[in-house]
């Protein structure tokens, strides 16, 4: 991109975001451009004796969908629910920490995979002069309210919603 020049970058930005027409001239040279490397990855093991990683410390999420904070909160709720009694009794074992990872690993992997699919779909249209057609099953589904409800559910709640257990549950 740098070889073709800053003007080519401005033009490509305007292709996907024409509303930035009055702002794109602010990019005067390459020192005004910052590259964000996006990686969705996760630790193989989120815990060891005396330590439990949750949220971004355990699994970095892509910014697509803005769900990273949701997963972090859900990790915290699951950890609180599962570790309250062992913490109260002063008997937290590595097995307790492992159970938190076991509970939260599947929703994390599924969310990251969904983000990869969404990212690939977004990139299909960049630099393409003709409109990108969605596959026919997706177009058919888009005629119903189901895709909107599904997207809303997964973005808002995730694959495994967590709910805080109230203190009376622990008595």
This prediction's pTM: 0.70
CA atoms within 13 A on the CB side of 36: 4
CA 112 to chain centre: 6
Q: What Å distances lie between residue 60 and 75, 102, 130, CA to CA?
A: 13, 17, 34
How does pLDDT run along the chain (171 residues), one tens digit per residue? 888 899 999 998 998 889 999 999 999 999 999 877 777 899 999 999 999 999 999 999 988 878 899 999 999 999 999 999 999 999 999 999 999 999 999 999 999 988 888 777 766 655 566 666 767 776 776 777 777 777 777 777 888 999 998 777 555
Domain assignments of the chain as residue spans, ordered by start? 1-35, 41-170
CATH architecture of 41-170: 3-Layer(bba) Sandwich (3.50)
Q: What six digits make up the tokens of 21?
A: 């027409």
């Amino acid at each position: 991109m740098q070889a073709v020049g800053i003007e080519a970058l401005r033009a490509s930005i305007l292709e996907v975001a024409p509303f930035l027409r009055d702002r794109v001239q602010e990019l005067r040279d390459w020192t005004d451009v910052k590259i964000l490397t996006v990686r969705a990855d996760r630790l193989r093991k989120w815990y060891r004796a005396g330590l439990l990683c949750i949220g971004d410390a355990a699994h970095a999420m892509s910014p697509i969908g803005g769900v990273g904070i949701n997963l972090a909160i859900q990790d915290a709720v699951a950890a609180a629910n599962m570790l309250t009694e062992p913490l109260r009794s002063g008997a937290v074992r590595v097995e307790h920490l492992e159970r938190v990872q076991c509970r939260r690993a599947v929703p994390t992997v599924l969310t990251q995979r969904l983000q990869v699919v969404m990212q690939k779909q977004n990139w299909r249209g960049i630099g393409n002069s003709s409109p990108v057609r969605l596959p026919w099953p997706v177009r058919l589904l888009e005629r119903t309210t189901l895709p909107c409800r599904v997207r809303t559910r997964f973005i808002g709640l995730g694959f495994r919603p967590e709910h805080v257990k109230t203190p009376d549950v622990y008595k």
